[in-house]
Amino acid sequence: MTTYGSFPGTRPRRLRSNPVMRRMVAETRLHPADFILPAFVREGVSEPVPIGAMPGVVQHTRDSLKKAAAEAVAAGISGIMLFGVPEESKKDALGTPGTDPDGILQVALRDVRAEVGDDLLVMSDLCLDETTDHGHCGVLDAEGRVDNDATLERYAEMAQVQADAGAHVVGPSGMMDGQVGVVRDALDQIGREDVAILAYTAKYASAFYGPFREAVGSSLRGDRKTYQQDPANVRDSMRELALDLEEGADMVMVKPAGPYLDILARVADAVDVPVAAYQISGEYSMIEAAAERGWIDRDRAIMEALTGIRRAGARNILTYWATEAAQKLNRQ
């Protein structure tokens, strides 16, 4: 046999020869504790409402949300991120349901904490987009632009009511300048130094959010390009990262996950705090749609996508498959 460099003495395929060998030398492993389940709870419904663009995902009732939280605990995942969907008639320009102690998100936080206690990290989306009649993540000025500083005042109120309702972690996701510092101050003012902040540090103005808009009943007019990040940019994300850490972020996030694995890797290499990534609705829906048509192996595609996110540097992954993926891992 002709020798080519170190071949035939060196044969990398020896380490791929059977399932046990591949498992032993695997560099990246998924674990149920890696996962956080995003979940939607809708006000005024008596049965869970299927989300057409996200097969298998629903807008929960209060009761079905509690069941989903209990299933998450049983599967061993780490957290549940709650999004509240108020009745359309209650939305207004200021997003009043977001700071109403009896708003659907705050009610759901209390429900889930009563159901699972500290066995699951109860996380809350801290943003106004689900509660405003215009669908933007902040308060608008007289010219219809998102007013950064007026929005921060609303975020401070939201942080306090969400903490009072039982959130272990708040996730300011609106991409307002200064949001992490304002939220930290607001929490500390009411003696809630124990509540952690998961900063949406790199949140891009992505086309992949489409199905999420249905999930939260979005009233958005226009787009969010003036405050979410440009998909073309990397340095912008690193600047946001430095600012969020300076303002007191306990954890940082990259969103979306799959199309931005390079950003995720850069962030993970740069920090010593936990890094999360959000596998968003469009990523979920593409795999589900392709699998439904028989174009890909659904289960393999799910686990491969999650492994890729973990390999790129995510300590935790927000994914709509959180409970299902954890159950699969538990059976292995």
Percentage, residues of the chain above pLDDT 90: 83
CA–CA gap between residue 153 and residue 160 (Å, rounded): 11
Please tell me the distance from the alpha carbon of residue 169 to that of residue 316, in angstroms, as a whole number. 14
Does 222 score more than 70 pLDDT? no
Of the CA atoms within 13 Å of residue 312, those in its CB half-sphere come to 26
Angstrom distance (rounded) from CA 66 to CA 111: 7
Distance CA 91, CA 85 (A): 10
Position 22 scores a pLDDT of 95
Most confident of 116-120, 210-214, 219-223: 116-120
pLDDT value of residue 219: 64
Enumerate helices (H) and strands (E) in the chain, giving the number of each.
11, 10
| Alpha helix stretches (DSSP H) within 26-176 | 62-75, 104-116, 148-165
Q: What is the pTM assigned to this prediction?
A: 0.94
* Mean pLDDT across 166-184: 96
> Could you write out the DSSP letters of every residue in 170-232?
EEE-S--TTHHHHHHHHHHHTT-TTSEEEEEEEEB--GGGHHHHHHTT----S--TTTSBPTT
On average, the pLDDT of the chain sits at: 94
pLDDT per residue over 27-60, tens digit each?
Answer: 999 999 999 999 999 999 999 999 999 999 999 9
What the block records as the tokens of 171 is 């996730």
* Run of H or E residues at 308: helix 298-312
C-alpha distances in Å from residue 287, one per residue of 37, 76, 272, 296: 17, 24, 32, 8
Q: What's the pLDDT at 213?
A: 72
Place of tokens 């066995």: 119
Q: What mean pLDDT is predicted for residues 325-330?
A: 98
Residues known to be catalytic: 203, 255
* Stretch 147-163: mean pLDDT: 97
Q: What is the pLDDT of residue 285?
A: 96
- Measured CA to CA, the distance from residue 111 to residue 69 in angstroms comes to 10
pLDDT of residue 317 exceeding 90: yes
| Residues above pLDDT 70, as percent of the chain | 97
What is the predicted pLDDT for the residue at 224? 78
pLDDT for residue 158 is more than 80: yes
The type of residue at 247 is E
pLDDT tens profile 224-274: 778 889 999 999 999 999 999 999 999 999 999 999 999 999 999 999 999
Please, are residues 129 and 135 in contact by the beta-carbon 8 Å criterion? yes
Q: Which amino acid is at 140?
A: L
Q: Which residues of 46-75 are buried (b: 16+ CB within 10 A; e: fewer)?
A: eebbebebbeebbbbbbebbbebbeebeeb
